[in-house]
Amino acid sequence: MEPGQRIGRYEIEAPLGAGGMGVVYIARDTELGRRVALKLLQPGPDDGAATRLRREARAAATLDHPHVVTIHDVGESDGKPYIVMELVRGRTLHRLLDDAHISLATRIGWLVDVARALAAAHRAGLVHRDIKPSNVMLRDDGVIKVLDFGIARRASTPSGAPATPSRPDADTEPITEQKGMVGTPRYASPEQLRSGKIDGRSDQFSWALMGYELLTGVHPFEAHDPVALIAGILTVNPPAPKPPASLPEEHIPLEVEDVLLRALEKDPDDRFPDIDEAADLLEPFAGPHLRASSPSNPTSDHPRATHPPDTSHPPRTPRDPRTPHTPRTPRGARTPRKPSDPSLTPEAFEASRISHLNALPLHGPRDPGSERRPPRRSRRPLAAAALACTAALALAVLYLLRSRAESARTAAPLTTLHCEAATLRGPDVTPDMAEAIGIGACARLAVEAGLGWARASTTLPASTEDRTEIRVGWTFRSDPHALQVTATRGPRGFDVTLRLGEHTARGAGPAAFDAVDDAVAALAPLIHDLTPAPLTPAEEQLWGTADPTAARAIQRAVGRLMTGTRRRPEPEAKALLAAAPDSPWTELVIATTLVSDTQEITPHRDRALALLEGRHTPIDKALRAAFLGACFRPTNQREATRLAREAYREAPEQPEIATLFACAVKDLTTMDEVVSVAERTSQRDPARSVLLLRTAVDPLIERNLPRDGAFLDRLHALLPESRAWEESITHLLLTGRIDEARASIDLAETLGISPYHRQPFPPQVLRYHLELAAFRPAEARALAHALLASPGAVTSTMALSWIGSTYEVEGRITDAITGMARALDAVRDSEGDAGAWRTTTELWQLALERAAGVKPSRSIDLDRLDAAAESLGAPRYISLVRTETALARIARDAQGSSDAERRARRTLEDLERFATESARGDRAHEDTLLLLTLPLVHALRGPADAAALWQTTHRARFLARRRLAYDAGLALEATGALAEAEAAYRLAQDPLWFDVYAFTAAAARLRLARLLRALGRDAEAAPLEASLAQPWSRADPGLHQRILAAP
């Protein structure tokens, strides 16, 4: 139902959630003016559902208890029954299970309250049948409420005593969808699982399961699959409950262990006769917490509620000490027992607990024989006094430590790690290296713990010859805990130690982050203790699930993706798939991790879009935009842009939505929006804006070096390892800082990270591109050969094609074509079908032969190439291929007949019409397609028309202008537009995608040097000529003259 619709006198305001058989809404009672929860039965084939819903109202309405949700009304609208109940605002116990800041005493108090509510239901003859953490809510004011009596049934006898056979009626007959087991198997009793007769003692078993999990953090019968879980409930005796590792100073009293284990007996007759007895035994151990009061449950001045004696039941029999599961005191422990004497006040009992705590040894177990030795009488009163003072001081210190531990447990949840200085020792260490290791360790720990992180300072650390210091740490709001990171660089790599209080973890590896990751993994138990408070409604909406395990898995995976801290992308993606198989976030992570540019993304896109169907939250819209738009291969960019803008308007404060917005809409026409969003979001929430800042720096779309530099400076201050990322190194290359770029690649190798965001290529790949763009083809070729010899992310096809590019820079056209042929053969050998690679290779060869002024190869079937391009369906690819094949037909026509030229003119007209039709009003797209025909325009209509085309298609995408820059320079130079020709020749040498356009870059350098000399700028021409002297010493004969003679 939509907000504003009415059911009777109730006006729907918002959806609240889904119950076992209906949807729950927040509604307003228009007569009384109060907000209520309205559960509406959903239509379906289950005939018994309406009966169950009405029974929930009757069952709960008969209960007058402060810990049972209050029923206000029941009715029917358009044939759909509904219940109106108290609106409970708070969190379920399911969401509080892992909260390390809630003491055991408080949790025991919650169990007592639930037990009292169930006892009231049992006295009314009702059995809940679905007690579990998600059906118990802690109201915002601290009061416990038991929810969802929707599958409650009326017991055959009151008070939960064993039922006797009776004739079933509408209330006693269990109504289920399948006439089978009702409830949740994970929290069901053995008799429920067997579909046997149940009474209040079945609720008692479920209550004990919930209590065990609440006090220990684990289910007593936890198993890897549902079948094993059910088998455990039916046949396995649970172990004695132990407190979770997050509460190391606490212990579960033996009496509490006793209560839980007895309530978990397989045979109902071995459990407590009624749950009130279990509550009475737990009551003394319940910590002070808010209890609801009502006429039927008065509350005294004491923080614990008192209950009037129940005279309707026979006296309770103490448990036989021979009963199974009597817990044993752990070795070396001395657990104080709560005396049964009611005259002992809580304060006296607490004093006795402190005395027992203080009596524990400070340095391990005592000498077994020490207790048998007679005490030695001191002959020195001063020594005795000193000893007494020392003992008193020790007790005071121990009590202080205990108080601080309790304070830490009750402190506000840890939300942010504050990253500061650490220590780095060894040869050849630098401040950049130390910063990257320290802050990187902090960021990785924060991501794994589900926390935020921030730089405590951006000041560079001081360094000496062999020492640089950085500190990395975090703080509780009132209790600082510093994480110290110490790293040593040696001949075999790095040793890294992470130290938090008394916890220490060490890692080692050939690269710094290999060691860091090992150390972080060793701190996993501690990280789990630091997990933030349970999911908030905003987090549930963001991650698309209320399951905390799945949500935290998504949060970690997306955190690694957003911060660029993924180290093992494939295993991490597969682990996420196992934890959250039905999340669109999972498909997003897999698509950006496992899918390369040559792999098929369609199945992941289709699955994600199917999961998002009918979902309209801002994050759902942003995710749809990401899959439809520019994040991958766009399929509906117009719709993606609309959805992304809408999502950002609705939730501009959400960094993940801002990041998806930038990724989905990024284009030349929208870069201003992307930059604006990146500016605002990174100022407000920098740690969650790392990927957003990366996205906003894209010189392939828009070249704005000052703005990109400012964004990169912000990124470097936030996460220093980003200095070694592709965006930073590319910026250094574009600004001519080659040596700094090499140093950044050195840093990437030292850290052991890939500079690339989407592909796990090693840093040597980026070093190859840098050396090639610096016109050092021999050095680049050596790197390509090394990559060819080392298995990994780089395939032999890529390495072979890169080797071919080095020959292009040297003017060795024949060798380059031979190298690409070898690459094509490698594809055939590895993949069998080399259709796409063959098409790409033949297109590259035609363009290379044309630029080098040689006849096109007769081995290429031009008609087949045209058909292959059409089958690929990409408009830009079609324009490129048909332009080159038309030019090749003209070049092959040795007789100079007019047939090839006429066909080429028809092709040009077709391509111009095709550009307008396929662009559909997108001027950038239309300009791009028209620009790709420039060589054909030059050949058929002359240089003036080609120059005009270059000047009028300024909206074309950068890569298209980069590709055609050399051809444009030829046309502009021929028409006398020398300044524009110079700019075009310089663009043709742009470092980006240099390996794809290596030959035209070298040819443009040669033409530019001659142009500069003609303009009298010899000083500028000389270094260009010098850079080509060595590479072109082995160029194909006559190539130099053909390039300079090109029209």
Most distant pair of Cα atoms in the chain: their distance: 127
Tokens read off for 437: 């290791």
**What does the block give as tokens for 720?**
């220093």
Residue type, 43: P
- Residue whose structure tokens are 């080659």: 738
Is residue 367 part of the annotated active site? The answer reads: no
Torsion of CA 588, 594, 597, 601, to 10 degrees: -50
**266 labelled binding-site residue:** no
Catalytic pick among 113, 130, 667, 698: 130
Place of tokens 């994970």: 186
H or E stretch including 136? strand 136-139
Helix (H, G, I), strand (E, B) or coil at 831: helix
| Residue 791: strand, helix, or coil | coil
* CA–CA gap between residue 596 and residue 644 (Å, rounded): 24
Which of 457, 444, 454 shows the shortest CA–CA distance to 474? 454
Tell me how far apart the alpha carbons of residues 255 and 20 are, in angstroms, rounded to a whole number: 35
- Burial status of residue 685 (CB atoms within 10 A of its CB: 0-12, 13-18, 19 or more): middle
The angle, 0 to 180 degrees and rounded to 10, between the axes of the packed helices 923-931 and 958-974 is 50
DSSP-based three-state secondary structure for 622: helix
* Residue of 282, 112, 271, 111 lying closest to 200 (CA atoms): 271
One-character DSSP codes across 633-695: S-S-HHHHHHHHHHHHHH-TT-HHHHHHHHHHH-STTTHHHHHHHHHHHHHH-GGGGHHHHHH
How far is CA 971 from each of CA 67, 505, 915, 938, rounded to the nearest angstrom?
A: 85, 65, 22, 7
Whether residue 644 contacts residue 629, with contact meaning beta carbons closer than 8 Å, is answered with yes
Q: Tell the residue number behind the tokens 């490698």, with chain if given.
A: 826
The string over 556-593, giving b where at least 16 C-beta atoms fall within 10 Å of a residue's C-beta and e elsewhere, is bbbbbbbbbbbbebeebbeebbebbeebbbbbbbbbbb
**CA separation for the pair 947, 931 (Å, rounded):** 10
Q: Tokens 């790293």 map to which residue?
A: 487
117 vs 131: CA distance, rounded Å: 11
Specify the amino acid at residue 766. L
Place of tokens 């160029």: 1035
The CB-side HSE value for 973 (13 A sphere, CA atoms) comes to 24
Contact predicate 85/37, CB 8 Å: yes
The DSSP bridge partners found for residue 83 are 39, 74
Q: Give the 3-state secondary structure of residue 89.
A: coil
Closest alpha carbon to 131 in 11, 278, 297: 278
Among 788, 790, 578, which residue's Cα sits nearest to residue 570? 578
Tell me the DSSP string of 342-386.
TTS-HHHHHHHHHHHHHHS-SSSSPPTTGGGSPPPPPS-HHHHHH
> Which H or E run includes 493?
strand 493-500
Token digits for 321?
């000490």
Picking from 162, 60, 157, the residue whose alpha carbon sits closest to that of residue 117 is 60
Catalytic positions: 130
Q: Which residues does the annotation place in the binding site? A: 39
Q: Which residues does the annotation place in the binding site for ATP? A: 39
